[in-house]
Each structure stands twice: as structure tokens, then as C-alpha cells.
Amino acid sequence: MNPEETQAFEEKIYAFIGRENGPPKKGHDAVNEPMIRHWAEIMGDESPVYTDSEAAINSSKGGIIAPPSMLQTWSMEGYSMAGDFVQDVQRGLHNVFDEHGYTGVLGTNTTTEFFRDLKPGDEVTAHTVIDSISEQKATARGIGYFIETVTTFTDQDGEDVGRQVFRVLKFVPADGDASASSESTDDESPAAPTRIASPRGHDNGWWWNAIDEGKMLIQRCKNCQTLRHPPRPMCGECQSIEWDSIESSMEGEVFSFTTLHYPKIPGYDYPLCCAVISLNEGTRIVSNIVGIDHEDVTIGMKVKGNIEQVDEKTMLPQFYPAQAGE
């Protein structure tokens, strides 16, 4: 779409903001014990306040209540394939998106507030408003817009019993694949992504080659014996270009660390703890801290490293908390 077309499209979709999604929808059935029992069975929720009227009477609830998470079910319209497919305002909005190529749909998140427990006999009515539509966003799934609807649930007396915010992303599938609107059903699973490898050049390739063979080396000046890491072609102390290396003990302590949460790059597991480690030899190295909850990592903690195959293609030093007594 060119800027004018985008503007015209956005005018169309933003005109939906604030509109009611049709008249309030009253549930087909009042809150009732059989449906509560079915739900509790399927969910595996054995709380007696849902199914055991005697225990429920003696509980703080004073009688059987519906599981709060059933709130939305009491006003659901039923299976659309079994009855009339209602062309409500929200579907009209989705149609506008579909017509402009935003065919993908992804429920992103929902939050629900519960104002009181529902009891058998309560009648629930849902009243839904298209509350907001975001500006255009670039997401991992593709360019799109977040649509937020707010549903207010009321009882037979018109009192609010709950409120739900539901957010969906309508997007242009990044690969142009219209089937992105449903979950992927690829039977051919693509190769798992691997970690980004270091390029190997004259000044560093030898170090990574040694890692592949299970050894972590530290470069040493042949002239003044100063250790240096990361490797470089000349000694900063004496300017000698002659060097060899020693094998590291891979023992040391955490000098600083941070745990990464976002963005999540393919090939890495998050939360991902990265640390600057002071090796006992006196040089430092950046690596991962593994084998411990990231919240328990501290500066000064003693660590011990191994060289491990972390994915299909990658050998890498990984550091663990040192065992007590080591």
C-alpha cells in the first residue's frame, strides 16, 4: 500500500474504535451445576466448592459457585457451524483487514477481572466494545495492528460481575502464506537454528579451532610471557609479535553478568545468562553461566568451565557454579 492507501485503510479501521459489537449477548443458559461439573471434570479441578454442595455450604463461599474462569462461557453464542453465523461488528472489522491483505490473526493476550463469584441461577450478559486499535506495528509475524476488545459481563440485576480485555493481532503474513491464520502444520520440520558463530580469521581462528578440539587456550607473549585475551597480533606490553598459548584451567569467578530476556534471537534459550569471568590465570572471558537459576548468580561467585556442544554446530565454553570444596 502507498501512503495514501494506508491512510484510507487506517481511516476505515479506526472508525471501528468505540463501536459496540452488536447488542448485549445474553447467555443461552443460566449458570448451572451440570455445566460447572463438566468444566471441573475436563479441567481436572477437584475443588469441592464447584461440585460438592455440602462442602460448599460449609466453605467461605456458602454454596456452590462457578469456576471464575468460566465467566466467558456463560454468554458464548454456541458453535457457529451449528447455528446462524452472526455477522457482528467485530467480524466486519476483521473483514476489512482481510480485504487489505491482513489475513493473519493471532490471539496475543487477554486479561480478565472477576468482581464476584457466580452461583447457579445467575444469568450472564456480555457487552463487547472495540476499545482500541494500535498504530501499525512491525512484529515477528509480519506488519499488523493490535485490536483490543473490552467485554463487560453483567448479571440479571445489571450489576457488573466481570470484565475481559482481549487482544488480537491482525497481520500480513510475513511469508505471504495465508495459512498463517492457523497453527503451522508443516510435517517437514526445518533445521533447528544454531548459535551465531564467530568468523575465523588469522588472529582468532586458532582459538576457535582449539575449542572445537575441547581446549580453551590463552594467548601468551613469547617475549615477556604476558597473557592476553581476546587474542590480538601484537603484545601491548612489549610489542612482540611472537606468541604461543597455554591451556586454561577454566576456573575463575564472575566479574559481572547480565541475564537476557528480550529480544529472543533464534538459536538461544532464554532467560540467557552471560557473564564476564575473571579466570584464575588473570585474563577475562565472556561466556554463559549455566547449571544455576540466573537469579542466584552473583558477582564474585566461583565458577568452573567445560567445553560443550551446545547445538548441532557449536562447541562453546560454558561455566557452572564451582562445587563446594573445589
Q: Footprint of other proteins on this chain (CB under 8 A)?
A: 3, 135-136, 138, 195-201, 203-204, 208, 229-230, 255-263, 265, 268, 272, 274, 276, 283-284, 286-288, 294, 299, 314, 316
In angstroms, the CA 49 to CA 54 distance is 9
> Which residue type is seen at 98?
D
3-class secondary structure, 120: coil
Residue 61 Cβ vs other proteins, minimum distance, rounded to whole Å: 31
Contacts of 279 (CB under 8 A, 6+ apart): 218, 248, 249, 250, 251, 252, 285
Residue 204 Cβ vs other proteins, minimum distance, rounded to whole Å: 5
90 or 287: CB nearest other proteins: 287
Listed in sequence order, the DSSP H helices in 44-194 are 48-51, 53-58, 89-99
Residue 282 Cβ vs other proteins, minimum distance, rounded to whole Å: 11
For the chain, state the CA radius of gyration. Answer: 30
275 exposed, middle or buried (CB, 10 Å; 0-12, 13-18, 19+)? buried
Residue 259 Cβ vs other proteins, minimum distance, rounded to whole Å: 4
174 or 274: CB nearest other proteins: 274
34 or 201: CB nearest other proteins: 201
Helix or strand holding residue 212 (H, E): helix 205-212
Nearest 5°: phi and psi at 110?
A: -145, 145
Residue 156 Cβ vs other proteins, minimum distance, rounded to whole Å: 36
Residue 116 Cβ vs other proteins, minimum distance, rounded to whole Å: 26
In angstroms, the CA 290 to CA 293 distance is 8
Count H helices and E strands in the chain, helices first. Answer: 6, 14
46 or 237: CB nearest other proteins: 237
1 or 43: CB nearest other proteins: 1
116 or 313: CB nearest other proteins: 313
**Residue 176 cell numbers, joined:** 505471504
Residue 209 Cβ vs other proteins, minimum distance, rounded to whole Å: 13
121 or 282: CB nearest other proteins: 282
Contacts of 31 (CB under 8 A, 6+ apart): 66, 74, 118, 119, 120, 121, 122, 123, 124
